[in-house]
A and B are shown apart, each in its own frame.
Chain A
Amino acid sequence: DIQMTQSPASQSASLGESVTITCLASQTIGTWLSWYQQKPGKSPQLLIYAATSLADGVPSRFSGSGSGTKFSFKISSLQAEDFVSYYCQQLYSTPWTFGGGTKLEIK
């Protein structure tokens, strides 16, 4: 199985700042990587697919980069509603696997 190591597990930041979350795959996955946002008590919402493509309706302050084994997810100019949890997921080979998640907290 492909292991997805996501870091950091939690991060504090201020409104308006930028943050970057990293996912490392245990083997190359090309660009078969997606990023999700999950608000408390809600289902995940797709933000980024194919490593860099923004899902429909997702604000442009969210972006993704990377290929192979190292991927990054960036939120520019944090808004209050962005302080929730984020997950990466590989869809290169089954079983699809998720990272452990990153929880953003307001500093």
Chain B
Amino acid sequence: EVKLVESGGGLVQPGGSLRLSCATSGFTFTDYYMSWVRQPPGKALEWLGFIRNKANGYTTEYSASVKGRFTISRDNSQSILYLQMNTLRAEDSATYYCARELGSYAMDYWGQGTSVTVSS
């Protein structure tokens, strides 16, 4: 059974940093692109970026809204995906989801989400 479990969310002050984790199981982690998506309360989904699979060199792509502030990485030995978030702003407050990509056709499995609140 495929499982994705996020952790690491919480309350952080503006300008602060936070690292989210996504522990995965039930599939060959290195075979898949992995994405992060967020959703502010009551708003639509926003893709933040992905990290490619082993065959594509584990390279990354980001949305303009987080490029330079957020970094996606992966620990392939433990099948964990990370999102390092720096210089956080109030508008980064959202539920953050990790998701597995189905060969760039879709995101076929999602975690349950972890909530991040940026506030003083």
Contacts from A to B (Cβ < 8 Å): 1, 32, 34, 36, 38, 42-46, 49-50, 53, 55, 87, 89, 91, 94-101
- The answer to whether B104 and A98 have CB atoms under 8 Å apart is no
Q: Whose C-beta in chain B lies nearest to the C-beta of A31?
A: B105
- The answer to whether A44 and B106 have CB atoms under 8 Å apart is no
- The answer to whether A89 and B44 have CB atoms under 8 Å apart is no
Contacts from B to A (Cβ < 8 Å): 35, 37, 44-47, 49-50, 61-64, 97, 102, 104-113
- The answer to whether A50 and B44 have CB atoms under 8 Å apart is no
- The answer to whether B102 and A95 have CB atoms under 8 Å apart is no
- The answer to whether A44 and B97 have CB atoms under 8 Å apart is yes
Chain A residues whose CB sits within 8 angstroms of the CB of B61 once the complex forms: 94-95
Q: Whose C-beta in chain B lies nearest to the C-beta of A50?
A: B105
- The answer to whether A98 and B44 have CB atoms under 8 Å apart is yes
